[in-house]
């Protein structure tokens, strides 16, 4: 099973891993594209006024943009530890046992504006570049990665649960994936999507599924494990699932 996650704009700084080695990342066929994008991002980030406009950051985030110029030399840490924020806090990598961590590293895949897709254990540096950015000549991350990521997760026999936000789902089409959504139920029974609760619920769901000992080969197994973890989940459409908070 693979579980697709979005990245987070917020990241833990530093790290104690060796500098970035693109060839060591998952999905090595993406190495030339990663190389080209990083070269463009490094050049852009040396010009802070231009970078602010292209990346969409205020001057208060200049220190984060400057880290882009050191993408090839800064220390790294596993992607699962690098990203922070509501979803990754709920995922709670720091509280996993060694066995749980190994399962999570084998199952979790994170979409990235800079790297395309990375495995949870892939060592990456900190950076500031998101789906709303635009690189001179290369365009938006979505337009850059869309054709390059198609087919990366193309095994139709592998169960894939898509927990990405709409913006990052647009990076790569995975037609055979199990789609998901999170709805918040009000006292009157009406349901709506609330971003904060959605991110938290997806993190809790990702933890339950990525660390489970169960064989997860179909939607029924996903629903069963999620319910055992205390989540309120339902089938959604022909093959999707929805979490109710």
pLDDT at 194: 86
Dist. CA 242–CA 163, nearest whole Å: 10
Specify the 3-state DSSP secondary structure of 32.
Answer: helix
pLDDT at 195: 86
* Eight-class DSSP state of 187: T
CA 32 to chain centre: 20
Q: What is the pTM of this model?
A: 0.95
Number of domains in the chain: 1
What's the pLDDT tens digit per position in 23-71?
A: 999 999 999 999 999 999 999 999 999 999 999 999 999 999 999 999 9
Please, how many CA atoms are within 13 Å of residue 42, restricted to the half-sphere of its CB? 13
pLDDT at 196: 85
Instruction: Give which of 29, 5, 58, 1 is closest to 171, Cα–Cα.
Output: 5
Residue 60, both tokens: 């208060």
| 173 within 8 A of 181, measured Cβ to Cβ | no
Q: Which residues of the chain have pLDDT under 50?
A: none
- Per the document, the length of the chain is 245
pLDDT at 185: 95
Residue 94 belongs to domain spanning: 2-244
pLDDT at 207: 98
What's the pLDDT tens digit per position in 82-105?
A: 999 999 999 999 999 999 999 999
Strand partners, 131: none
**What is the separation, in whole angstroms, between the first and last Cα of the chain?**
25
């Amino acid at each position: 099973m693979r579980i697709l996650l979005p990245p987070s704009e917020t990241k833990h700084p530093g790290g104690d891993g060796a500098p970035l080695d693109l060839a060591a990342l998952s999905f090595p066929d993406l190495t030339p594209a990663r190389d080209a994008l990083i070269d463009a991002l490094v050049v852009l980030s040396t010009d802070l006024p231009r970078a602010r406009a292209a990346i969409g950051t205020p001057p208060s985030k200049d220190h984060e943009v400057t880290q882009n110029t050191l993408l090839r030399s800064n220390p790294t840490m596993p992607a699962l530890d690098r990203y922070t924020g509501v979803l990754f806090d709920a995922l709670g990598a720091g509280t996993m046992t060694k066995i749980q961590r190994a399962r999570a590293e084998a199952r979790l895949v994170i979409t990235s504006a800079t790297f395309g897709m990375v495995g949870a254990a892939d060592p990456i540096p900190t950076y500031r570049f998101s789906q709303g950015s635009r690189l001179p000549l290369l365009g938006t991350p979505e337009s850059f990665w869309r054709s390059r990521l198609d087919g990366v997760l193309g095994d139709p026999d592998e169960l894939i649960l898509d927990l990405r936000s709409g913006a990052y789902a647009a990076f790569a089409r995975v037609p055979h994936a199990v789609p998901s959504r999170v709805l918040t139920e009000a006292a009157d029974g009406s349901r709506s999507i609330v971003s904060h609760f959605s991110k938290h619920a997806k993190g809790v769901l990702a933890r339950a599924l990525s660390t489970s000992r169960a064989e997860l080969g179909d939607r029924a197994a996903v629903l069963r494990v999620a319910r055992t973890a205390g989540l309120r989940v339902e089938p959604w459409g022909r093959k999707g699932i929805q979490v109710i908070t």
